[in-house]
Amino acid sequence: MKRPVILIADDEHNIRETVSQALENMASNILLAGSIAEIWSILEKEAVEVLFLDLRFPDGDGQDVLRSLHVTHPQIVVIVMTAFGDIESAVNAMRLGAADFLRKPFSPQSLRQSLASVFGAREKATTIDDVMARLHAARESIHAKELPAAEEQLRAVLATDPLSAPAFNLLGIIREIQRNNTDAQVFYRLAITADLQYGPANANLERIGTWPHSGTIDFGSEETDHVTHS
């Protein structure tokens, strides 16, 4: 993976420093912003490739930044940083075009994994003709418990098709296997947002929302994948 120019935007100094230290060996340059005004000032001068974006600032809302970036800087990969347990904000941010989300407090490893996953996927963006093969490979990797390989395939799918319900559903399954049901719910909801009729994600969200959990995980199939792209 090439070393991108990274902008870290958070109103808390400690968060900016923590993220910067975690990513310093993966970036060609790291820039810091403590406000929305500083974000736009930096973007006017620097060729930022990746933005780690908090969603709450004293001078505005990070989601408004996301909306504007979609028009003004669509090439920037955005990874949002949300409060622990804030499912709604994560879902909304992904709907607005964020490539990934991290819930505070996060580890240095999770920061590095997110950057490698989503920025690396942008470099490997595939064609729609390859999407089905990547979805198939991701399912095979999940069954083989090779979760990083599966996620790499799915991120490549989303770099080409940001509204791939099967890809979001499979990312939700990966989070379930990792015992991260909160993030799993985010991905299942994103799958449903992409395609309201996508049965596997609806079934998985209903199952994970009940206690005790019952039923089996619905991986979807090549038949349902084709339906979402028809």
Predicted local confidence at residue 47, as pLDDT: 95
Predicted local confidence at residue 125, as pLDDT: 58
Q: Mean pLDDT over all residues of the chain?
A: 89
Residue 111 has pLDDT above 80, yes or no: yes
Q: Which two tokens stand for residue 204?
A: 């998985």
Residue 93 identity (one-letter amino acid): A
Residue 227 has pLDDT above 60, yes or no: no
CB atoms within 10 A of CB 95: 16
Residue 228 has pLDDT above 70, yes or no: no
Q: Which two tokens stand for residue 32?
A: 């810091």
| Mean pLDDT across 32-58 | 96
| Mean pLDDT across 181-200 | 92
Residue 223 has pLDDT above 90, yes or no: no
| Mean pLDDT across 123-149 | 85
As a dihedral over the C-alpha atoms of residue 27, residue 13, residue 40, residue 49, rounded to 10 degrees, the angle is 10
CB 122 within 8 A of CB 152: no
| Mean pLDDT across 15-25 | 96
| Mean pLDDT across 97-115 | 91
Predicted local confidence at residue 127, as pLDDT: 64
Residue among 12, 17, 13 nearest 111 (CA): 17
Predicted local confidence at residue 88, as pLDDT: 85
Strand 77-82 versus strand 100-103 pairing type: parallel
C-alpha span between 111 and 152 (Å, rounded): 15
CB atoms within 10 A of CB 99: 24
C-alpha span between 214 and 69 (Å, rounded): 41
C-alpha span between 135 and 133 (Å, rounded): 5
- If pLDDT is split at 50, 70 and 90, which confidence band does 230 have? very low
Domains and CATH numbers, the chain: 5-123 (3.40.50.2300), 128-228 (1.25.40.10)
pTM assigned to the model: 0.79
What lies within 8 Å, CB to CB, of 25 at 6+ separation is: none
- If pLDDT is split at 50, 70 and 90, which confidence band does 229 have? very low
Lowest mean pLDDT among 68-72, 124-128, 143-147, 191-195: 124-128
Residue 123 has pLDDT above 90, yes or no: no
